Amino acid sequence: MTKLINTEELSKITGIAPITWAKRRMRGEPHTPPYLKIGRSVKYRWDDVEKWLASKSCSSTSQEV
């Protein structure tokens, strides 16, 4: 079973504020890690977060992600 993290943990890992993650979820932005809604809780699978972070890898400052 993969580890689940909450929005606050994702915020610490990414440096993106929890409120920004909430806004991105509300808008349904496509380039964010998938999440689970369990009751009122929002959780992210660690495996999905790792894949999302890997997709943000760049080799040049002119490269768009």
Q: List, for residues 16-34, the tens digit of each pLDDT value.
A: 999 999 999 999 998 899 9
Return the H-helix or E-strand segment holding 45. Answer: strand 41-45
Pick 56 or 33 by higher pLDDT.
Answer: 33
Report the predicted TM-score, pTM, of the whole model to 2 decimal places: 0.84
Task: Give the residue, 25 or 64, on which the prediction is more confident.
Answer: 25
Q: What is the pLDDT of residue 63?
A: 67
Residue with the bigger pLDDT between 48 and 57: it is: 48
Phi and psi, residue 6, nearest 5°: -100, 180
| Average pLDDT value for the chain | 92
